[in-house]
Amino acid sequence: MANAVPRTLDEWEKPLRDLEDGITKLKAVAVKEKDDSRAADLKYRIQELQRRHDNYLEVMYSQLGPWEKVLVARAPNRPYMLDYVNQVFEGFVELQGDRRYGQDHAIIGGPAKLNGSPVMVVGHQKGRTIQERQLRNFGYARPEGYRKAIRLFELAQRFSMPVVTLVDTPGADAGLEAESRGISEAIAASMLKMFSLTVPIISVIIGEGGSGGAIGIAIANRVLMFEHSIYSVIAPEGCAAILWRKPEMGPQAAEALKVTAESVLSFQLIDQIIPEPTGGAHRDPASAAQSLKVSLLSNLAELSSLSGPELLNDRANRFRNLGVMAIH
């Protein structure tokens, strides 16, 4: 390719935005146009640009490579956890605090209703504005976030509520404070707790499934991924930095790490891909939310026939068989 590899979704979608700008300008002209035949001509040109735009969008999004998926998964206008919570669930009450040390806003959660039945929703929340990004620590959860999650999982168990987790993090916080308060232990303990529950658990990777920070709340009977989300053992840039000493080789690492939902499904590490609207979830959040709801309901319905002990065993068995080995 002649063009440099795009580093953000914005760069990558530039041709689309150019078309959109063209359409906006023509529309502005068309509104003022008095002459009927010239107005008809403008109308035609707008329709033609719109057709090219839609066509381009469909083609672009049907051929997303691993790196483009990384860009889409990280897009700042992609729906975040609370966007889904507001559209998929009713009456969400956020419960806060780990009752141990402090407050974390990167992992949030609480009870809500899904089609009238109570469930416990826990997930990563990123921020959009500068202030909100800082509040959410850019989606990097601290130990307190995982310990709050553990508390909410215990509540779900006590009150027999299915658990839904929505995963969207670049990774867990690796700073001095997080290390001091045992970020590793917090992640491990959260996984351990999820394995001990006798209620159904469904985890959905909605954006970035970043390494330990992601799997810390992704122990479930069913693990689903949105079509353009990613799930990876390490951030592609981090992998490139370690293996090749070149963080700028993220696109190559994304390819090698097989981070796309399609790849992950082919290794049977997830159970289902939730389709996204043409052009990605960020172009039609309501439709993405609807797909999520349908998927959650059908999976919960399937799990409803299992007893508590069966759910626990099903979850252990699901993860027990993951891995690819040979015999010497």
Partner 1 sequence: MSKPGKLGEGAFIQCAKCKKIHFANEFEENLRVCSSCGWHHRISAQRRIEITCDANSFEELDQDLKSGNPLDFPDYDEKRVGAEDKTGLLDSIVTGIGRIDGNRVSLAVADFSFMGGSMGSVAGEKVTRTLERGLEKKCPAIVFCATGGARMQEGLLSLMQMAKTTSAAERCNRASIPYICVFTDPTMAGVLASYASVADVILAEPKSMVGFAGLRVSKQAGVSKVPDDFQSAEFAYNHGMIDKIVERKDLKSTLSQLVQLLGGHLLEQQEGDKLTTRGAKK
Binding site residues, partner 1, CB under 8 A: 140, 172-176, 178-185, 187-189, 191-192, 195-196, 211-212, 214-216, 218-219, 231-234, 238-239, 241-243, 256-259, 264, 267, 269, 315-316, 319-320, 322-328
- Nearest CA-CA partner of 284 in 8, 61, 21: 61
- Shortest spacing between CB 126 and partner 1, in angstroms: 16
Cβ-contact 167, 123 below 8 angstroms: yes
**Of the two residues 57 and 218, which places its CB atom closer to partner 1 in the complex?**
218
- Shortest spacing between CB 52 and partner 1, in angstroms: 37
**Of the two residues 97 and 175, which places its CB atom closer to partner 1 in the complex?**
175
Angle among Cα 268, 269, 275 to the nearest 5 degrees reads: 85
**Of the two residues 31 and 324, which places its CB atom closer to partner 1 in the complex?**
324
Distance separating alpha carbons of residues 298 and 115, to the nearest angstrom: 12
**Of the two residues 2 and 324, which places its CB atom closer to partner 1 in the complex?**
324
Residue 159 φ/ψ, nearest 5 degrees: -105, 20
Query: Which pair of tokens denotes residue 272?
Result: 């289902």
- Shortest spacing between CB 204 and partner 1, in angstroms: 16
**Of the two residues 238 and 280, which places its CB atom closer to partner 1 in the complex?**
238
Burial level of 121, CB count in 10 A (0-12/13-18/19+)?
Answer: buried
**CA dihedral sign, ordered 267, 218, 234, 225:** positive
- Shortest spacing between CB 4 and partner 1, in angstroms: 22
**Of the two residues 87 and 184, which places its CB atom closer to partner 1 in the complex?**
184
Distance separating alpha carbons of residues 289 and 205, to the nearest angstrom: 13
- Shortest spacing between CB 315 and partner 1, in angstroms: 8
- Shortest spacing between CB 70 and partner 1, in angstroms: 14
Query: Which pair of tokens denotes residue 268?
Result: 């049977």
Other CB atoms within 10 Å distance of the CB of residue 150: 22
